[in-house]
Structure 1
């Protein structure tokens, strides 16, 4: 198998902790180069993974020994560097959100289609098989007809200098933690959802929102209540409530690779905990991207619908 040679644009924490170790462990993937604005930092990180250090992002895109790039930069920089990578003939795996607006997302997806390059947004939880297992339970009718969906993803307060607090870098809860419940609603309820109402709130002294909630509705009348934040006790869960029962998924969005997920199924006949196999969603995401590069995968249209809904949430909250 010819390896997919990946270059990394930046030395972000998520690249260090999660993506680079997963790439190094994935068959058919080679970490070819790591670029940084700080040459010493790029050299140190590249040395850990046997990659070539590169000083500057543009210099990495000029290399002919790089087939694809991973973009872990702050949200406000995703669009520009993803576009530059596509123009340079590279496949792209970009951190979520792909851009900070549907116009930019649509433009990048069109560019990827026209250039014949893979463009994938790094929403990793959708690659964990627990969600397909839950979807099958619902499709099999174990909770009856779906009536409502609730999802929440929030994390404790971050250090004051964290980039998620900077508006100029695309910070804020909506584009960080808000992506997860929105994408989960799309996963389980389909792409015809519309935003009925929303609120975004800033903590004291903040220039970006640190909390938010949204109410969505499907054409069939199924409601989706979504909550997200950057200054909360940790929560990562969703539930699907039906006419005859309810299924709940805890540790839904960022489960450890060695965690065997437990899905709670509640019905009139009793409560059951369904234990599912552990899975490494980070490794599965890297493998899915590499396979798409090898086989010519196309951009997922749900990425566009997600961008539109996130924009609708922001507009509703501002109304």
Structure 2
């Protein structure tokens, strides 16, 4: 009986791993993955809260029946931005947190929303089963059908239309560039990054007001990897230690000193907003890419000291 149980468990594990294989493929290959949007809620800032944040919470479900899990996505940005940094050209990406149940084969899941046009973008990264050590990227887009109402305070609150729990598809791209190919093919080549080993420490005594700035704030340090070239463009990022207008600025040192690119960042601690800029000098051609991400970190308290960390975070550039 015990042997039968062990065999059954082993078969289930092998079946799960087989079902988890994701082929990134060649430049002409396209893999698709099915998801479902199960819930969404948006709350704007009250008119009296000038410059206050709007918040958006979304639940998405991978619809492969063997997974049995879901992801909770949350973002916050100044109401006037409508999902774009300063209302400009850089959309804000946010991490989606795995619920912890069922089966998950994604390294990261992220989303971004163009609120003015009620459009949501989803990305997820995963290990390529056909290219050991490489990570694949799949992306999708879907409209948000929301019922909105105005509260007594004048703010807007919106919820997903109940009948609009909808399926959507993400499409995967080719395996990342071969090591050594560190220059983007063209200025239009899509760039994205994975932020890893995020760490920030600061003092915030119990009972402090939310408006009180943190004390002895170290700012963030992290590892940055370009998703197109991975190990060929890996950076160690640290900040200057100086705060100006609630922002830390920092530089990223390439692991390969012969790298043809440089990277830098700005972290707005008031908004928890990270802006990444990578610059390439490829012969006579100069290229830049900018990505913006809302960082949700988990903080561990030891007396007055908070140590904040997070798992891998994917940050993209423009919409897909």
TM-score for the superposition, normalised by structure 1: 0.29
Higher helix residue share: 1
Higher strand residue share: 2
TM-score for the superposition, normalised by structure 2: 0.29
